[in-house]
Amino acid sequence: MTLAPTPINSLIEQKQQELRDLVQYPEEKLTSIIRGVGFKCDLCSRCCTEEFNDHVFLLDADTATIKQIDAFALTPAPYFEFCDQHGRFYVSGYALKSKPDGSCYFLEGGRCRIYSRRLSICRVYPYMLHREADESGNVDWRQVSGLDEHGCYHTEIGDVEAREIAKETKNYEKAFLEQEINFLKAINTHFTKNGLRHIQKVYDRQMRLYQKGGSIEVCVYYSGTFEKNVLPAE
Ligand code: SF4
């Protein structure tokens, strides 16, 4: 089926192209980069803070895990994608709440309280595989986050371990893009069916209201539906 050229459909096509590019990225190349960088965690726990990583985005499977452990830890991921004419925001998933000091809700005494059930992004970090602009604006594939800013480097990583990391990193990025594509498709259907449209002016007005302490409604995409959240939490 050919999609009509609406802005949301263009975004879907763009994400689908990103997904095709990702699938074609050679796993061998990523494996070799992982071995070359030789990253080893030194348990500094900086990656579990807002100062280092803006937020912990959750794939649907991660949200399901957190709902079992402690649903209070969930919050709509920041940077809502859309806002309809009634002032309702829409975002592609949940994130973990942070504590007032900016550390992750689950970080305690420098250690993760849910390490044995840690989330997809926490498992693959600091590895990544997506195109991003560097400080000079050059867009290219990025494979390691926060390079030389934390942890140890040039340690020995065996071939089998590096291959596993490469595979898991690619799978994570694939699941992330698929969630984004499914979200955009769900938005397209929901907006069309209910006569809704994204209005940037309303988005900006509602954000100003929220920043001044007002309350907003955020529909979070989870498991094929939109869950209503009210911020600040009621
Ligand atoms: S869930 Fe655990 S590993 Fe992930 S950011 Fe929070 S404290 Fe760190």
CB 180 within 8 A of CB 13: no
Residue 138 lies inside a defined structural domain of this protein = yes
**Within 10 Å of residue 33's Cβ, how many Cβ atoms?**
16
Q: Exposure of 96 by Cβ count < 10 A (0-12 exposed, 13-18 middle, 19+ buried)? A: buried
User: Percent helix, strand, coil in the chain (nearest 5)?
Assistant: 45, 20, 35
Structure tokens at 122: 């926490």
Is 119 a pocket residue for ligand 1 (Cβ < 6 Å)? yes
Residues 203-226: tens digit of each pLDDT: 999 999 999 999 999 999 999 999
- Cα 194 to Cα 124, 185, 190: the distances in Å are 39, 14, 6
Residue 168 lies inside a defined structural domain of this protein = yes
Residues 79-111: tens digit of each pLDDT: 999 999 999 999 999 999 999 999 999 999 999
Take atom 4 of ligand 1 and give the residue whose Cα is closest: 122
End-to-end CA distance of the chain: 43
How far, in Å, is the centroid of ligand 1 from the Cα of 122? 6
Q: How far apart are CA 10 and CA 140, in angstroms?
A: 21
Q: Which amino acid is at 130?
A: H
Residues 139-167: tens digit of each pLDDT: 999 999 988 888 999 999 999 999 999 99
User: For residue 53, is pLDDT > 60?
Assistant: yes
Dihedral angle computed from the Cα positions of residues 199, 204, 210 and 213, in that order, rounded to the nearest 10 degrees: -140
Is 66 a pocket residue for ligand 1 (Cβ < 6 Å)? no
Is residue 234 very low, low, confident or very high in pLDDT (cuts 50, 70, 90)?
low
CB 48 within 8 A of CB 55: no
Average pLDDT, the chain: 94
Pick from 63, 106, 115 the residue to mutate for probing ligand 1's pocket: most ligand atoms within 8 Å of its CB. Answer: 106
Q: What is the DSSP string of 87-99?
A: SEEEES-EEE-B-
Among 11-20, 122-131, 133-142, 212-221, whose mean pLDDT is lowest? 133-142
Name, in order, each residue with C-beta under 8 angstroms of 87's C-beta and a sequence gap of 6 or more.
202, 205, 206, 216, 217
Percent of the chain residues past pLDDT 90, beyond the cut: 88
Residue 119 lies inside a defined structural domain of this protein = yes
Take atom 8 of ligand 1 and give the residue whose Cα is closest: 48
Q: What is the pLDDT of residue 65?
A: 98
Residues 178-204: tens digit of each pLDDT: 999 999 999 999 999 999 999 999 999
Domains of the chain: total: 1
How far, in Å, is the centroid of ligand 1 from the Cα of 121? 9
User: For residue 54, is pLDDT > 90?
Assistant: yes
Pick from 63, 103, 107 the residue to mutate for probing ligand 1's pocket: most ligand atoms within 8 Å of its CB. Answer: 107
Mean pLDDT of 129-137: 90
Is 56 a pocket residue for ligand 1 (Cβ < 6 Å)? yes
Is residue 3 very low, low, confident or very high in pLDDT (cuts 50, 70, 90)?
very low
Residue 179 lies inside a defined structural domain of this protein = yes
Q: Which domain holds residue 56?
A: 7-231
Is residue 6 very low, low, confident or very high in pLDDT (cuts 50, 70, 90)?
low
Task: Name the 3-class secondary structure at 180.
Answer: helix
Residue 1 lies inside a defined structural domain of this protein = no
Atom of ligand 1 nearest to the CA of 121: 4
